[in-house]
Structure 1
Amino acid sequence: MSRVVVTGRIPEAALEKLRAEHEVDAWAGPESISREELLRRVAGVDAVVSLLTERIDAELLDAAGPQLKVVANVAVGYDNINVPACTERGVVATNTPGVLIDATADIALSLILMATRRLGEGERLIRSGEAWKWGMFFLLGSSLKGKTLGVVGMGGIGQATARRAKAFGMEIVYQSRSEIDPAVASELGARRVDLDELLAVSDVVSLHCPYGPATHHLIGAEQLAAMKDSAYLVNTARGPIVDEAALAAALRDGIIAGAGLDVYEQEPTVHPGLLDLDNVVLLPHLGSATVETRTAMAMLAADNALAVLSGNQPPAPIG
């Protein structure tokens, strides 16, 4: 039996799958595992099943030792993993694409609706106990029908978000490294543009690109200034894609109308300039947070680990 470390709490079904074949050491604490404890536990293991809260870098890989075969990330994003360091040591790195597409797209559309219809403001008003009265101009928002959604990163989640927005009557433009399937483009009526044009024409910009050096602060002060002053920014991808300080200033100064965020630059810390603004909706990284999706993610991560430990190709290798 091989030794497997699981760096945080995952659904029991996935743990049972791993335990059926291997010795499993699963962190079950209510708080994230400390770096010191993680480095101690990985020593001599054959597989690491990691959460996005843990940094899988050269230090950790060396602490594990040369027998380590696989790092199975329970996430589609893998900016917490030093993939070149894994490759250099012959460690297979995997992720969990596909299974969280619909859940994350649902959150993206939820943020679009919450921001454009000022739903967060309305709910906070009710909970505050302040007096309010219906009126023709009370908490007026913006409709989606006939507006343009700009999707940055037209992979599975971007396409699923666009499909939902299309049902609300939105027009779709997108920026991506490559053209999408012509059949999908035809279904969505989607037009590929560069980022500058997307920012200029979109009423809502929704971010779905992967995070890396090329997308760090992809949206900063210059890009926000290029958007319509009536436009909204939504981010369900990774926090550092957006310069939060620049976003806070743009929202405060009316450079754009509003925003919806599910991810943050220094998660779980949120830039303090955002916290007191009414025109931004803030969620605590709920993109994949359904029972069904989190279970599917954990099961796929377990399948990835088990495949490599058996000498087979994993279902979802990175790269």
Structure 2
Amino acid sequence: MQSIGVDNVDLGAATEHGVCVTNCPGFCSEEVALHTIGLIIDLTRKLTYFDRKVRQGKWDPLLGYTTHRLEGKTVGLYFFGSIPRAMIPMLQALNVRILAYAPTKTKEFLETYGVEKAETFDALLTESDILSLHCPLMDTTHHLISERELKLMKKSAFLINTARGKVVDEAALVKALEDGDIQAAALDVIEDEDTEQSRLFSLENTVITPHAAFVSEDSFYAARKMTLEQLVQRLSTDQRPTHLVNPGVSC
């Protein structure tokens, strides 16, 4: 059983040995959505940045990059699963334009949420004032954001990553932040969460949280409940688990 992501499980080996692998999709959507909104507001208002400066004895509201109102800005969402959908009412309350790159979703489907469809990933990159990543880690999303993509973004843009650390090429992001290719980044995940080290830690135009977006007593309860339901399905009723992620397994 995994919470959501299964990139740390050898699904081929599990399938070969008859092991059912399940996850708990959506168990923390509300938490991650709210955390993402918090990071957007943090960067927009420089909350963490100002806190650091005040603690250093620097009481100056004009330090750092220039701030602007969120109203009318474009928030770009990469993919449109349960977390971005939970964000929609929060974003609408901020009176922003919402743009999504979601190849499997139709324009009409996105419009029911008040969301515009970006026809290409490059269009999402070039139009977004704030780019928020919400994709799983797969071969096609590994280093999805690298030097080319960061160069396409606005120099005033913010990057938010509450997905997986390896979706972003961290070396390219460090360079982009140092060179001013984008304005700032807020991350709940980093590439190396084994040693918990990153060059991003030394940059002032970053906000980093310790892979904590999913955390709440309510999400923990939901995950445990979903896990037990999967076990009951498999062991007590001999059903295939609802949220099986290796459907080729004989179980």
Summarize the Cα distance change of 1:283–1:290 in structure 2 as closer, same or farther, 3 Å threshold.
same
Mapped contact 2:146–2:168 kept (Cα < 8 A): yes
Match of 1:107 among 28, 35, 55: 35
Deviations 1:122-164 (A, max 9, x none): 1112333x04145xx4555232110001100111112222432
1:83-115 deviation digits (Å, cap 9, x = unpaired): 222222222110011221111111111111111
Q: Distance in 2 between matches of 1:278 and 1:100?
A: 29
Task: Specify the SS of the correspondent of 1:260.
Answer: strand
- Cα-Cα RMSD: 1.8
Distance 1:267 1:220 in 2: 19
1:287 is aligned to: 213
* 2:146 aligned residue: 220
Deviation at 1:180, TM superposition (A): 5.1
AA at the equivalent of 1:179: K
Secondary structure, counterpart of 2:98 in structure 1:
strand
2:21: which partner in 1?
93
- Comparing both chains, which one has the higher relative contact order based on Cα–Cα distances under 8 Å and sequence gaps of 6 or more? 2
* 1:312 paired residue number: 239
Q: Does the Cα contact within 8 Å between 2:21 and 2:245 map onto a contact in 1?
A: yes
Deviations 1:3-22 (A, max 9, x none): xxxxxxxxxxxxxxxxxxxx
1:210 matches 2:136? yes
Number of residue-to-residue matches in the alignment: 244
Following the alignment from structure 2 to structure 1, what is the Cα–Cα distance between the partners of residues 160 and 58? 30
Query: Could you tell me whether the CA contact under 8 Å between 1:116 and 1:258 is conserved in 2?
Result: no
Distance 2:226 2:115 in 1: 33
The equivalent residue for 1:11 is: none
| SS of alignment partner, residue 140 of structure 2 | helix
Taking the aligned partners of 2:167 and 2:231, their CA distance within structure 1 comes to 29
C-alpha distance in structure 2 between counterparts of 1:271 and 1:246, whole Å:
16
User: Measured at CA, do residues 103 and 293 of structure 1 come closer, stay the same or move farther in structure 2, by a change above 3 Å?
Assistant: same
Q: Contact (CA 8 Å) 1:179, 1:192: kept in 2 or not?
A: no
Query: How far apart are the structure 2 equivalents of 1:174 and 1:189?
Result: 7
- The unaligned stretches of length 5 or more in structure 1 are 1-71
Instruction: Find the aligned partners of 2:13 and 2:175 in 1 and give their Cα distance.
Output: 37
Query: CA 1:183–1:216 in structure 2 vs 1: closer, same or farther (change >3 Å)?
Result: closer
Task: Give the secondary-structure state (helix, strand or coil) at the position aligned to 2:95.
Answer: coil
The structure with the largest alpha-carbon Rg is 1
Cα distance, 1:317 vs structure 2: 1.8
Give the aligned partner of residue 239 of structure 1: 165
Aligned residue identity for 1:160: A
Q: In structure 2, give the amino acid aligned to 1:221.
A: E
SS at match of 2:21: strand
Structure 1 residues 232 and 131, CA, compared in 2 at 3 Å: closer, same or farther? Answer: closer
Deviates more, 1:140-149 or 1:97-106: 140-149
State whether structure 2 residue 128 is matched by structure 1 residue 196. no
- Match for residue 122 of structure 1? 50
Match among 260, 267, 271 for residue 193 of structure 2: 267
Bigger mean CA deviation after superposition, 214-223 or 151-160: 151-160
- Structure 1 residues 35-77: Cα deviation after superposition (integer angstroms, max 9, x where no partner): xxxxxxxxxxxxxxxxxxxxxxxxxxxxxxxxxxxxx11x111
Instruction: Kindly indicate whether the alpha-carbon contact (under 8 Å) linking 1:154 and 1:180 is maintained by their aligned counterparts in 2.
Output: no
Q: Which stretches in structure 2 are left out of the alignment for 5+ residues?
A: 247-251
User: Deviation per CA, 1:155-175, whole angstroms, max 9, x where unpaired?
Assistant: 111222243222211111111
Aligned equivalent of 2:8 = 80
Letter in 2 for 1:101: S
